[in-house]
Chain A
Amino acid sequence: MQSSFIDKFLSNEPGSASRNFLLSALWWSLWAMGAGLIAGIEFSAPDLIHNIPQLSMPHLRMWHVNGVAIGWLSMAYVGSIYYMVPSLCKNKLWSERLGNFTMWAWNIVMIGAFANLLNGNTEGREYAELPALLDYMVVVALITIAINVYGTVATRNVKKLYVSLWYFLGSMFWFPLVYIIGQRTFVALPGLNDGIVGWFYGHNILGMWFTTMGVGMMYYLLPRLTKAPLYSHGLSMLGFWGIALFYAPTGTHHITQSPVPEWLKAIAIISSVFLFVPVITVLTNFFMTMKGKWGLVASDMTLRFAITSAGFYLITCMQGPFQATRWVNWYLHFSQWVVGHAHLALLGTFSFISTSAFYYVMPRLTGRDWYSMGLIRQHYWLKFLGFLLMMISLTIAGLIQAAGWAFGMPVDQWSLQIRPYWFLRAISGVMIVLGQFIFAYNVYKTLYGKQVETKKSASMEAIKA
């Protein structure tokens, strides 16, 4: 009795932690993206929802950001590496039970986040809104993941570490530290220092977690999906060290016009521009690996998600250093352009790569084929076109706002002029969320619908063996 209870909740079945993580990620993505959609609609119809504090725009926004970042993306990442790391090390996950334990802990964090943030129980720092207790739990979860991943790599059956593992191991080392520093739970800092550390964290949750993990996943997926060897191992190492070196100090570029020390701004801006180097090497590597294989994008949806992600990554990383420079920042800062950029990174790049990993990993974990290819296509197009619409409308809105500030136009005037773009943004939200629901439906049908168990994939057998 006792053991069956444990088996049920802390299953030891190979691949179960990965699958549970991915499914939880999908579950939270629906809630978090849905919240983003409602918040987006409220920009066009501010009186649509009245007198419900939980559904007021700022509360929805807190939950939306934490829900997609810590719920959807992070959980999808962990789920993916729980599959990818063992498959690269040719062994099993170090402890499947520990993996499932983390999964529960993380889900409890998300329930707490949902309940707290929608009620405005926040620490009031962008990206670090979670209340202290939940912060501790996230740290525990991150440490258990790190133990699991390092344990798997330590007991590996191959000699050489593939570059993806470098990225995963690096991220699992520095992200818990960045998280602890970023929460500032133990210290109360004076205002501007609080801002500096806040943006150190705010940017590094992207730079030292979403980027390094996401790029590691791209390195894993592309050669496998195209069945072509990675173009250059040397380049991939250059990219890795470049990111490790230049990403961490860039945070202050979020507050270049506030009265923080000039030398810190200079460090941030210079490293931001230097980020071109790792980005170009990483992308050269990807696109050269694709050489002669581009045709596959037409038929292989998983690959198409991954390549779209790489493409958006290119655009994100061209925008980033451009915006960080003083003279562009002078003009564009504070506008919706930046919101567009944030979605380009998290939705365009990292959400697409997570989705690609999801589509790749799930059949291999469960041995079930996707219920419907048509639904995957619909998901792709809704998400892709929806995202383009969002990006374009936010960018135009941002340019109007920026012009408004630069020419000293009153807010009341330009805020009327960007109303059409708020509206388009709401429509784009409908498309993206609809795509995500189609995705969820497809997953549901695949896993729980009637289907004959087809071939378990070769790599899955390898895990079991």
Chain B
Amino acid sequence: MNSNPYRIGSFAVFTTFIIIIFSTVLMPMVLFQPKPTDTRNNYNLESSAGDALRGRQIYVREGCFYCHSQFTRLQDRGYGPLVKAGDFVYEAPHVLGTARTGPDLTNEGGRFPSQWQKAHLIEPRSVKPGSIMPSFSYLNDRDMNDLVCYIQTLGNGRTVSAYVEAPDEYMPVTPSGQALLARRHVDTNSDAASNAGRGIFTQNCAACHGLEGWGNGPNSITLEKKPANFSRPFYKQYSDQMWFYRISEGVPGTRMPRFGETLTEEQRWYLVAYLKSLPQDKEVTINSLAQLNKLTPTKLPVLTKQEWEPHSGGH
């Protein structure tokens, strides 16, 4: 045995520790320096209502971040556009949050009128029965106004013209997006491509999305989250890439599959051409089971609403 094993031991502890600090604390600071983006929260808006930056301090002081997160994830549907790394450059101390006892507040700004926000902060249960959010009635007027002003700025940089867009990896702004475009030889505006897409759609998608794409295929009966109804005018704003992205990666949190794993790129572009060609001017809503496409002959029993939507709790 070595005459002094502890010297070696302490040296080893020391080096290990320094290496770890280097790789997980110093290296990220050097390598990870995202540029500020335009989609970040803009606190500099002239506003008579209050001081948003001061409101942010109140947000921290009152510990709102223990219950509310401030970053949207791919699977968070209904919480607005996704965040980018550059959105957070001026956000210090960070309020990313780790628990969502309440909703995500990334894009909360503008979702409710300021008066509602104020009432909600003073007496949450008056506007949201059953809420467990604490009451912040003890805030003085100035604090309250600044806090509401801050809430209303959340996500104000992220209001983009097209509401949803595919991630950058699919758009021609990144090398991978450009490569995707370069590989594509299907003209998504042509009738021929759309006709080719129809066949693929009938085979792979109609069971859920219905023959006309109204989201009413026979499989939709069993789905808690109903398949998308492509007749909605909303879909007019979808870019080719957005369609392609959805088809390829599915919709997290729903039964929409990831067709990127089973269909070729070419087939998926044909599908895009077909989906684009569907009429999207007049929304078709499906209200009763009788209106479902039944691929004849169907053996499915006729169900009551309680039966085909067992989670609705019968009301």
Looking at the assembled complex, report how far the CB atom of B209 sits from the nearest CB atom of chain A, in whole angstroms. Answer: 18
* Contact, CB under 8 Å: B93 / A125: yes
Q: Is A161 at the interface (CB under 8 A from chain B)?
A: yes
* Contact, CB under 8 Å: B138 / A189: no
Q: Is A338 at the interface (CB under 8 A from chain B)?
A: yes
Set of chain B residues within 8 Å of A56, measured between Cβ atoms? 62, 134-136, 138
* Contact, CB under 8 Å: A264 / B137: no
Q: In the complex, A330 Cα to B252 Cα: how many Å?
A: 10
Set of chain A residues within 8 Å of B67, measured between Cβ atoms? 58
Which residue from chain B places its CB closest to the CB of A125 in the assembled complex?
B93
Residue of A126, A268, A419 touching B98 (CB-CB under 8 A): A126
* Contact, CB under 8 Å: B66 / A338: no
* Contact, CB under 8 Å: B94 / A195: yes
* Contact, CB under 8 Å: B131 / A47: no
Q: Is B142 at the interface (CB under 8 A from chain A)?
A: no
Given contacts A189-B92, A195-B96, whether A334 and B69 have CB atoms under 8 Å apart is: yes
Which residue from chain B places its CB closest to the CB of A165 in the assembled complex?
B6
Which residue from chain A places its CB closest to the CB of B139 in the assembled complex?
A53
Which residue from chain A places its CB closest to the CB of B60 in the assembled complex?
A124
Interface residues as binary, A50-66 with B (CB distance below 8 Å gives 1, 0 otherwise): 11110011110110000
Give the residues from 57 to 106 in chain B that come closer than 8 angstroms, CB to CB, to chain A: 60-67, 69, 71, 73, 75-78, 83-85, 87-103
Given contacts A254-B98, A264-B32, A338-B99, whether A194 and B92 have CB atoms under 8 Å apart is: yes
Most interface-central of B71, B91, B100, B102 (chain A CB within 10 A):
B100
Set of chain A residues within 8 Å of B66, measured between Cβ atoms? 57-58, 61, 126
* Contact, CB under 8 Å: A120 / B63: yes
Q: Is A375 at the interface (CB under 8 A from chain B)?
A: no
Set of chain A residues within 8 Å of B78, measured between Cβ atoms? 408, 410
Looking at the assembled complex, report how far the CB atom of A406 sits from the nearest CB atom of chain B, in whole angstroms. Answer: 5
Q: Is A267 at the interface (CB under 8 A from chain B)?
A: yes
Q: Is A308 at the interface (CB under 8 A from chain B)?
A: no
We find that the number of chain A residues with CB closer than 8 angstroms to chain B is 78
Size category, B interface:
35 or more
Looking at the assembled complex, report how far the CB atom of B136 sits from the nearest CB atom of chain A, in whole angstroms. Answer: 7
Give the residues from 111 to 158 in chain B that come closer than 8 angstroms, CB to CB, to chain A: 124-125, 128, 130-138
Q: In the complex, A124 Cα to B102 Cα: how many Å?
A: 18
* Contact, CB under 8 Å: A177 / B62: no
Q: In the complex, A53 Cα to B17 Cα: how many Å?
A: 41
Given contacts A254-B98, A338-B98, whether A249 and B131 have CB atoms under 8 Å apart is: no
Residue of A52, A181, A267 touching B138 (CB-CB under 8 A): A52
* Contact, CB under 8 Å: A336 / B99: yes
Looking at the assembled complex, report how far the CB atom of B216 sits from the nearest CB atom of chain A, in whole angstroms. Answer: 19
* Contact, CB under 8 Å: A334 / B100: yes
Set of chain A residues within 8 Å of B20, measured between Cβ atoms? 245, 248-249
Set of chain A residues within 8 Å of B103, measured between Cβ atoms? 411
Q: Is A292 at the interface (CB under 8 A from chain B)?
A: no
* Contact, CB under 8 Å: A58 / B134: yes
Q: Is B13 at the interface (CB under 8 A from chain A)?
A: yes
Q: Is B224 at the interface (CB under 8 A from chain A)?
A: yes
Residue of A173, A195, A251 touching B13 (CB-CB under 8 A): A173
* Contact, CB under 8 Å: B75 / A330: yes
Which residue from chain A places its CB closest to the CB of B24 in the assembled complex?
A249
Given contacts A194-B92, A260-B32, A408-B225, whether A181 and B25 have CB atoms under 8 Å apart is: yes
Set of chain B residues within 8 Å of A374, measured between Cβ atoms? none
Which residue from chain B places its CB closest to the CB of A190 in the assembled complex?
B89
Given contacts A58-B62, A120-B62, A258-B96, whether A47 and B13 have CB atoms under 8 Å apart is: no
Set of chain A residues within 8 Å of B94, measured between Cβ atoms? 125, 191-192, 194-195, 198
Which residue from chain A places its CB closest to the CB of B27 in the assembled complex?
A264
Give the residues from 185 to 225 in chain B that come closer than 8 angstroms, CB to CB, to chain A: 224-225
Set of chain A residues within 8 Å of B29, measured between Cβ atoms? 189, 193
Interface residues as binary, B32-63 with A (CB distance below 8 Å gives 1, 0 otherwise): 11100000000000000000000000001111
Most interface-central of A126, A251, A335 (chain B CB within 10 A):
A126
Q: Is B31 at the interface (CB under 8 A from chain A)?
A: yes
Give the residues from 19 to 52 in chain A that come closer than 8 angstroms, CB to CB, to chain B: 42-44, 46-47, 50-52
Which residue from chain A places its CB closest to the CB of B83 in the assembled complex?
A259
Q: Is A319 at the interface (CB under 8 A from chain B)?
A: no
Q: Is A122 at the interface (CB under 8 A from chain B)?
A: yes
Q: In the complex, A338 Cα to B20 Cα: how many Å?
A: 25
Given contacts A62-B63, A181-B21, A249-B24, whether A412 and B31 have CB atoms under 8 Å apart is: no
* Contact, CB under 8 Å: A193 / B32: yes
Q: Is B176 at the interface (CB under 8 A from chain A)?
A: no
Q: Is B237 at the interface (CB under 8 A from chain A)?
A: no
Q: In the complex, A358 Cα to B166 Cα: how many Å?
A: 58
Residue of B83, B84, B128, B137 touching A51 (CB-CB under 8 A): B137
Set of chain A residues within 8 Å of B76, measured between Cβ atoms? 405
Residue of A47, A59, A124 touching B93 (CB-CB under 8 A): A124
Set of chain A residues within 8 Å of B60, measured between Cβ atoms? 122, 124
Q: In the complex, A84 Cα to B71 Cα: how many Å?
A: 46
Set of chain B residues within 8 Å of A330, measured between Cβ atoms? 75
Set of chain A residues within 8 Å of B32, measured between Cβ atoms? 192-193, 196, 260-261, 264
Residue of A62, A121, A339, A411 touching B102 (CB-CB under 8 A): A411
Which residue from chain B places its CB closest to the CB of A45 in the assembled complex?
B132
Give the residues from 103 to 134 in chain A that come closer than 8 angstroms, CB to CB, to chain B: 120-126
Given contacts A56-B62, A267-B24, A401-B100, whether A244 and B13 have CB atoms under 8 Å apart is: yes
* Contact, CB under 8 Å: B92 / A191: yes
Set of chain B residues within 8 Å of A42, measured between Cβ atoms? 134
Set of chain A residues within 8 Å of B253, measured between Cβ atoms? 405-408
Which residue from chain A places its CB closest to the CB of B58 in the assembled complex?
A120
Q: Can you name 19 A-B residue pairings with CB atoms under 8 Å?
A: A46-B132, A52-B138, A56-B136, A56-B138, A122-B61, A124-B61, A177-B17, A181-B25, A190-B89, A191-B89, A241-B16, A248-B24, A252-B24, A259-B34, A334-B98, A405-B75, A405-B76, A406-B253, A419-B132
The 6 closest A-B pairs by CB, nearest first: A58-B63, A191-B88, A191-B91, A124-B60, A334-B100, A248-B20
Given A251-B24, A264-B24, A406-B253: 16 more A-B contacts, CB < 8 Å:
A46-B133, A57-B66, A62-B63, A123-B93, A170-B13, A173-B10, A174-B13, A190-B33, A190-B88, A241-B16, A249-B23, A252-B24, A258-B83, A330-B75, A333-B98, A405-B75
